[in-house]
Amino acid sequence: MFKSDDEMKVAILVESWGEPWNEGYKNLAKYIVEAISNFIDVKVFPADRIKISLLKDFDLIHVFNYDIPYHLLPYFIAIRRPIIKHIAKYEIKNNAVSSIILDFLKTKYVYDAFIVTMEILKRELGEVVRNKPLFFLPPPVPIDYCGDIDKSNARELLGLQHNCIYIGYAGAINKYKRLDMLFNAIRRVKAEFENKISLIISPSHIYPPKYYTKIRRTLVENKGLYKFLRVNDMRLFYKAIDVLIYPSEYLGSIAPPLVLLEAMSCGTLVIAKRNIITSTIIENGLNGFLFANTEELIEIIKSILRGTIDVESISLRERRYINMNYNPSIVYKKYIEVYKQVLTLFHEQGESNVE
């Protein structure tokens, strides 16, 4: 057993690691590592470079939003170390248990404890994990994520105009992201405000059109309405745009949506489609806006362009919300405390994951 925090050694297993830092799961894992690595000994193992034999050198294994392949499960059990499964995805849709949860049920015996990133996930999994410890830990999100980056400099570096209102979308492009609503809203607003706004999209991942013909059709039909902008450092993107729109209605995305939290940390005005996840983050009109349909989205954008919304006050409340709920200097203590609890339980129960 460890004697102090700085003697604790934790291995964190992730699906992928390294640049570009523009994917939700990877960025979230990065923030966790940054938050705790100054206080305990942490090593990251990407899925394609895991050496199971090396895991014996660690006190605890933290599996972040990654499914250990079935054929490797016996080897993980054999190393006799407590294993925590970290889940950052909302999986129950239409009041039915998803296939991912069913797969999870087959492997839950491997894990000694579970961490979730939202209270709603804790409620979802409560009946599934039952006799295993289940912890809610908010993700650490850097305060002042954009740092000293200036809007003018960000636009210059990204090749954007200085006298334009930029609406931004960042994230995956798939059938669950309602880009059709976004495109319809932008087209109608442009017609009224004489093209004073531009839409830029920074995709983290585009699903192959051969799988989703609707995506291809939507992108082709709206060609000229938007501009693709590949960005490795998302801080430049958030700082360069005036408004971030998150039109996702799919509950299987990362929860909470990191793109929202990062933008709010930068003080960028956020507008999100109302769903069970976004409604727990955004108080409509206070620290952002929620919309249920295209008409509501259009009215919000028009209000911004007319200057009837106090953007500066909302920006301050966004950053205050992030500071109160996701500040790394507070969150890291919760992670270390959970590690201690799991280690204590594991040794008291005589390595309970060996069945």
- Each residue of 118-173: pLDDT tens digit? 888 888 777 777 788 999 999 999 887 777 788 999 999 999 998 899 999 998 78
The two structure tokens encoding residue 283 = 């108080």
Going by C-alpha positions, the residue among 220, 197, 211, 204 that lies closest to residue 304 is 197
Going by C-alpha positions, the residue among 18, 69, 27 that lies closest to residue 45 is 18
Reported as a pLDDT band with limits 50, 70 and 90, residue 342 is very high
Going by C-alpha positions, the residue among 318, 276, 301 that lies closest to residue 182 is 301
Q: Using the predicted structure, report yes or no on whether residue 287 has a pLDDT greater than 90.
A: yes
Beta bridge partners of 85: 63, 114
Yes or no: is domain 5-140+327-348 CATH 3.40.50.2000?
A: yes
Round to whole Å and give the CA distance between 296 and 275. Answer: 14
Boundaries of CATH 3.40.50.2000 in the chain?
5-140+327-348, 151-325
| Separation of CA 151 from chain center | 24
| Separation of CA 288 from chain center | 17
- Enter the DSSP assignment of 307: T
Q: Using the predicted structure, report yes or no on whether residue 77 has a pLDDT greater than 90.
A: no
> What DSSP string describes 127-189?
HHHTTS-EEE-PPP--TTTTTT--HHHHHHHHT--SSSEEEEEEEEESTTB-HHHHHHHHHHH
The reported pLDDT for the residue numbered 137 is 93
The two structure tokens encoding residue 231 = 């960005």
Buried b vs exposed e over 121-138: b needs ≥16 C-beta within 10 Å? bbebbeebbeebebbbbb
The reported pLDDT for the residue numbered 221 is 75
Taking only the tens place, the pLDDT of each residue in 275-284 is 888 999 999 9
pTM over 0.75: yes
Reported as a pLDDT band with limits 50, 70 and 90, residue 299 is very high
Q: Using the predicted structure, report yes or no on whether residue 16 has a pLDDT greater than 60.
A: yes
Q: Using the predicted structure, report yes or no on whether residue 93 has a pLDDT greater than 60.
A: no
Instruction: State the average pLDDT over residues 4-25.
Output: 81
Half-sphere exposure of residue 274: CA atoms within 13 angstroms, side-chain side:
11
Q: Using the predicted structure, report yes or no on whether residue 296 has a pLDDT greater than 90.
A: yes
| 218 sits in which H/E element | helix 213-221
The reported pLDDT for the residue numbered 251 is 58
Taking only the tens place, the pLDDT of each residue in 204-259 is 765 555 545 666 777 777 777 888 888 888 889 999 999 999 998 765 567 788 89
Taking only the tens place, the pLDDT of each residue in 41-59 is 999 999 888 888 899 999 9
Domain 151-325 top-level CATH class: alpha beta
For 4, residues 6+ apart whose C-beta sits below 8 A from its C-beta are none
The reported pLDDT for the residue numbered 354 is 42
Residue listed under structure tokens 């995805």: 89
Q: How far apart are the first and last CA of the chain?
A: 22
Cross-sheet strand order for the sheet of 134-136:
41-46, 9-14, 60-64, 83-87, 113-116, 134-136
